[in-house]
Amino acid sequence: MVTNDSPAAAANRRRPARDLIAAVVENMRSNLETLKYSTLAPSRYVVYVHAAEYARLEAIIPILREETIRALTEELARLNSPSGLRRYGGRLFGEAAPRVQTPTGEWQIEFVMDPDGELAEGDILIDSELLLPAQPELGVGERTRKISTAHVVEQAQVRGGSGALVEERTHLREGPGGQADERTVRTRVSAPRLLARIVYEDKAGRHSYDVAKDSVVIGRGSTTAPVDIRIESSVDVSREHARIRRDPLTGQFFLIDLSTLGTTLNNRHVPRGYDEVDGIRKETGVETPLPDGARIGLAETVFLEFTVIP
């Protein structure tokens, strides 16, 4: 007789390593972003597994990563073959489907242990992102668009002090005598009020985030834990590590610790903002007032400079 706690029962819950590869490939297929002339595939994948599963696979992770990249490359070639997605697109739309590609031309795969204990043994959680090429002329590193759970909209540039966004579009059309007539159309739309700015540096480089709403969640993020400020860091930083809340009546900002390893404010630990009962987290309402200028530490690993904008 085999009980649920026996080694045989535990072995039955184990997933073959090939299941992780298949799950990543399926994630890629499910999150293709089709444009007019190309179809973009997410190129960065973080695969979370149970601690016991990770311990079992840790020694072969380099091989697992290599075979996952090989499987993604083969699937990309299959989708671009005449018998794959392109033939299907031709039947459906009357023309060949846009070619599937990764903007950076490479895959980034990570297999990590679930740091928050949310996954049962045998579960797989995949966080995928569309990695965009770096723009050296702007002095920034690679950009990402998380396509598995959130839609990212680029911020427009604020011009002048009018509190409005101005979008300029230049149109060329043929004028009298065949000469090109250049016209610029300016569209004015209301801009969100800038409340504060957060500057920080993580593994992906230096970043600046403009706070324009009353609640901002900070952390590593995941499919089940979307965040506003995504930190590229070790698992010491929790998926949902901290939240900054603004009281809309007084304008006062508060810091709420949601982490496992703690949050600091100007090098002092703030009280935890939740209790955990029977494995369920429940916020307690405990929060710490934020001064207009503050240094916030996440597990003493990543530090954020917070500044209120007058």
Tell me, what's the pLDDT at 135? 53
Give the chain's domain count. 3
In a domain, 174, yes or no: yes
In a domain, 152, yes or no: no
Q: What is the mean pLDDT of residues 78-100?
A: 65
Per-residue pLDDT for 147 more than 50? no
In a domain, 77, yes or no: yes
Are 167 and 82 members of one domain?
no
Residue 219 structural domain: 196-308
Tell me, what's the pLDDT at 191? 52
What is the bridge-based pairing of β-strands 293-298 and 180-190?
Answer: unpaired
Of these ranges, 45-54, 138-147, 148-157, the one predicted with the greatest mean pLDDT is 45-54
Are 115 and 221 members of one domain?
no
Taking only the tens place, the pLDDT of each residue in 233-292 is 999 999 999 999 999 999 999 999 999 999 999 999 999 999 988 777 888 999 999 999
Are 72 and 99 members of one domain?
yes
Cα separations in angstroms, 29 against 62, 71, 88, 132: 23, 12, 14, 18
CATH number, domain at 237?
2.60.200.20
266 vs 141: which has the higher pLDDT: 266
Are 139 and 239 members of one domain?
no
In a domain, 295, yes or no: yes
Are 140 and 112 members of one domain?
yes
29 vs 152: which has the higher pLDDT: 29
**Average pLDDT value for the chain:** 78
Taking only the tens place, the pLDDT of each residue in 150-209 is 222 333 333 333 344 444 444 444 445 545 444 444 444 445 689 999 999 999 899 999
In a domain, 151, yes or no: no
The tokens describing 76, both together, are 């990309």
Are 187 and 115 members of one domain?
no
Tell me, what's the pLDDT at 294? 96
Q: What is the mean pLDDT of residues 3-23?
A: 65
In a domain, 3, yes or no: no
- Residue that is last in its domain, among 114, 146, 178: 146
Taking only the tens place, the pLDDT of each residue in 90-139 is 555 555 668 899 888 889 999 988 877 778 888 888 888 887 765 554 44
Are 34 and 139 members of one domain?
yes
Q: What is the mean pLDDT of residues 35-48?
A: 89
Are 175 and 215 members of one domain?
no
In a domain, 30, yes or no: yes
Q: What is the mean pLDDT of residues 215-238?
A: 90
In a domain, 20, yes or no: yes
Are 141 and 163 members of one domain?
no
Q: What is the mean pLDDT of residues 289-297?
A: 96
